[in-house]
Amino acid sequence: MRAVAFDLDGTLVDSVPDIAAAVNRMLAARSLPPLGEPAVAAMVGDGLQVLMDRVFAAVGAVQDPGAGAEYLRDYEDNVLVDTKLFPGAEAALQSLKQGGWRLAVCTNKPERAARLLLAGLGIEQYFDAVGGGDSFAARKPDPLHLRQTLAAAGLTPERSLMVGDHSNDVQAARGCGVQAIFAGWGYGQPGMEAGAAAVAADFASLPEIAARLVP
């Protein structure tokens, strides 16, 4: 069985507008200055606590213990205000499913927030498993996160691919013996694609690249 695991933020969905809005409401409640969306985009990808660490470092403030939970509650309540699928995402998912691929989501975003996004965007039915940043004992770049996400879908790393826009996705894939496809349309910084088996410029090219890598 061929399988593709997808990252979420910056890969399947353009979610930074809603992430940044929730971050800035949390900062405003502490009389701290807001951050622009490009700055927040560069902070996404390593999970909730690292996001909070980077946010407070960026505004030169000390993080209080309740900040992360406050942000997450607000974000989950406003997860689909401006978040959208990247162009061609659903068509690519349909094409892969029709081609017999099994699909999963492997994201460092908390699982509840990830599931709210997938359900709200109407694409949860494509995925056999969702592995969030708090679903297992490890998260990307630890390959255990990807391995356990695949196992939750009844899959193994053999004949599997990982699609993501961050070096964490590439590292998790390589550590798991899985080929990575770097999402060139996402939030990734230059050089993050190092080690990927291929770079996809857009979703339209993804099914063909996947079929080439895992015939």
Contact partners, residue 92, CB within 8 Å, separation at least 6: 203, 204, 206, 207
7 is catalytic: yes
Q: Of 7, 9, 18, 165, which one is the catalytic site residue?
A: 7
Residues in the chain: 215
Q: What is the DSSP string of 25-58?
A: HHHHTTT-----HHHHHTTTTS-HHHHHHHHHHH
Whole-angstrom Cα distance, residue 22 to residue 7? 21
Q: Tokens 């590292």 correspond to what residue?
A: 171
169-to-59, 87, 108, 147, 149 alpha-carbon distances in Å: 28, 21, 10, 12, 13
Exposed e or buried b for every residue in 76-105, given b needs 16+ CB within 10 A?
A: eeebeeebebbeebbebbebbeeeebbbbb
Active site residues: 7
